[in-house]
Amino acid sequence: MLIDSIAPVLDKLSLLSAGVRLYQRASALNPRIYLKNRSYRMSEQGTAIPPARLLMTVAGSAEIAVFLEGGRMAADSIRTILQNNGVDISGLRAILDFGCGCGRVLRCWRDLAGVDLHGTDYNGELTAWCTRYLPFARIGRNKLAPPTSYPADRFDFIYALSVFTHLPEPDQMAWMDEFHRVLRRGGCLFLSLHGAHYLARLNEGERRQFLAGKLVTRYAYSAGTNLCSVFHPEAYVRTHLTRDFEVVDFVPEGARGNPRQDAWLFRRK
């Protein structure tokens, strides 16, 4: 990707954030993608499709097919890891999609009868779209740091797909505390994280840090955006994110729909 190759130069010039925004907008206006989306919209039924700029923000692609298929795969991944650990998602009382974006995965649960569905995100434009077009879920907006407005013991299950991949360590630890607060005892938390597959993307110093079991963070000043990238060694997750949780399952590269990210399932103590 071109933006990856020139990112260090733009960063030195303090132009990286602007460069990423320009790249995303240009990609959303790609004529080839526009034509593919136009034909796809004609056959899409049911839940509304977000505009291209929101697709790009959430999925890294402005293609409708990529957005929908990624959401379906992510939902299937969640169902599978829960089922493999004795949890039927249709039997849960309340679910929170933390970092719901414009409903890439949340839209897949609209037929879960009797389940109280919630979504929240840091980006107000994304939550506004969800509020308007996903009436089967209650949509909130969170700040970069906790707390949320949810009461204690509110949810049976929370999932955060590719969220901690964009948050520096202090923010991650704060959110783990908040998840513990709003989950019921015994409730589950699903995270997708950049794991060992991403070693090839790291420079030599970052690889040494990762292999030593330390968190690797790029562009921490852009926390909460796609520019901030965080990479989680397995050893780090097991020793730092489990203070109030137990690891129920770990599937390397198992977070389908979030390509090559590791899937982690935790249970609240």
* CATH number of the domain enclosing 37: 3.40.50.150
Mean pLDDT of the chain: 89
Radius of gyration of the chain (CA): 18
Mean pLDDT, to the nearest integer, of 133-149?
97
- Whole-Å CA distances, 15 to 3, 6, 11, 54, 201: 12, 11, 6, 22, 21
Six token digits for residue 225 = 């955006």
Q: What does 53-116 look like in DSSP terms, one character per residue?
A: HHHHHHHSS--HHHHHHHHHHHHHHHHHHHHTTT--GGG-SEEEEET-TTTTTGGGGTT-TT-E
For residue 64, name the pLDDT band (cuts at 50, 70, 90): very high
Total count of domains within the chain: 1
pLDDT digits (tens, 9 = 90+) for 80-108: 999 999 999 999 999 999 999 999 999 99
Six token digits for residue 83 = 């089922």
Mean pLDDT, to the nearest integer, of 6-22?
46
Mean pLDDT, to the nearest integer, of 46-59?
88
pLDDT > 90: percent of the chain = 75
Residue type, 49: I
The residue range of the domain holding 35 is: 2-268
Q: What is the pTM of this model?
A: 0.88
> Which residue spans within the chain are E strands per DSSP?
94-98, 116-121, 138-141, 155-161, 183-193, 216-218, 229-231, 245-251, 262-268
Mean pLDDT, to the nearest integer, of 8-16?
44
Residue 220 has pLDDT above 50, yes or no: yes
pLDDT at position 11 = 44
> Which residue spans within 127-179 are E strands per DSSP?
138-141, 155-161
